[in-house]
């Protein structure tokens, strides 16, 4: 593997998803025409780029790998204006990879988000693994986000006790109330 592009970036994201959904990751590798060795190589390349002393950092790294964003917006948090960049990825055509960066280009958050015009039904009709994103489930009445303390992971708890577990913003598992 020489470099990284959007396809290989999908392989990088799959690395963490394999912890919870190895079945879906195996199917995704087949759809991408990749194997586990190629996925490991993509992950190693991504890590070496992230930690290279003279390599691009933050938002610049994402742009170097993913190219120019398909969408760029601004979001205000208090008196700070943040840049919101979004890229389509080949594995999830109904989603976009979103990077939230401060004015200096440091990445504050990164995750998969719903693309405009997505055909996925609302989460109120039932939670769909590998279809719904954090914002879909967090918008349900009484939903509460829980940060498990691991950067690519997130959890949303629903009033009935259901727990929805996410990796990189994409729903991985739904745990029914005990």
Are residues 128 and 105 both part of a single domain? no
pLDDT at 77: 87
Read off the pLDDT of residues 83-115 as tens digits, 9 standing for 90 and up.
999 999 999 999 999 999 999 999 999 999 999
In the block, which residue shows the tokens 């190693």? 44
Domain limits for position 130: 123-175
In the listed set 115, 138, 153, which residue is the last one of a domain according to the structure?
115
85 close to 71: Cβ distance less than 8 angstroms: yes
The total domain count for the chain is 3
Are residues 72 and 103 both part of a single domain? yes
pLDDT, block means (10 residues), the chain with 178 residues: 81 95 97 95 93 91 95 92 96 96 94 94 93 96 93 94 97 94
Are residues 71 and 50 both part of a single domain? no
Q: Looking at the domain assignment, is residue 61 inside a domain?
A: no
pTM metric for this prediction: 0.93
Separation in Å, CA 37 to CA 14, 23, 40, 44, 65: 13, 16, 5, 11, 20
Are residues 51 and 2 both part of a single domain? yes
Are residues 108 and 134 both part of a single domain? no
Please name the residues in contact with 2: beta carbons below 8 A apart, sequence gap of 6 or more: none
| 28 sits in which H/E element | helix 22-32
Are residues 107 and 127 both part of a single domain? no
Q: Looking at the domain assignment, is residue 140 inside a domain?
A: yes
Q: Looking at the domain assignment, is residue 60 inside a domain?
A: no
Are residues 49 and 90 both part of a single domain? no
Are residues 2 and 30 both part of a single domain? yes
Q: Looking at the domain assignment, is residue 82 inside a domain?
A: yes
pLDDT at 1: 40
Q: Looking at the domain assignment, is residue 146 inside a domain?
A: yes
Are residues 127 and 97 both part of a single domain? no
Q: Looking at the domain assignment, is residue 153 inside a domain?
A: yes
Q: Looking at the domain assignment, is residue 87 inside a domain?
A: yes
Are residues 2 and 46 both part of a single domain? yes
pLDDT at 102: 95
Are residues 171 and 135 both part of a single domain? yes
Q: Looking at the domain assignment, is residue 62 inside a domain?
A: no
Are residues 2 and 50 both part of a single domain? yes
pLDDT at 159: 96
């Amino acid at each position: 593997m020489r470099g990284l592009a959007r396809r290989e970036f999908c392989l990088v994201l799959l690395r963490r998803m394999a912890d919870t959904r190895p079945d879906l990751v195996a199917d995704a590798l087949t759809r991408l025409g990749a194997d586990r060795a190629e996925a490991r190589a993509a992950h190693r390349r991504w890590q070496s780029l992230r930690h290279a002393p003279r390599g691009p950092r933050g938002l610049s790294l994402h742009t170097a790998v993913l190219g120019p964003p398909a969408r760029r917006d601004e979001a205000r948090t208090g008196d700070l204006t943040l840049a919101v960049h979004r890229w389509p990825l080949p594995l999830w055509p109904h989603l976009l990879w979103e990077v939230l960066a401060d004015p200096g280009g440091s990445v504050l958050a990164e995750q998969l988000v719903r693309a405009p015009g997505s055909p996925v039904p609302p989460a109120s009709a039932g939670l769909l693994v590998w279809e719904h994103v954090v914002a879909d489930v967090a918008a349900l009445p009484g939903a509460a986000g829980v940060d498990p303390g691991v950067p690519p992971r997130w959890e949303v708890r629903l009033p009935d006790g259901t727990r929805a577990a996410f990796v990189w913003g994409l729903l991985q598992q739904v745990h029914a109330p005990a």
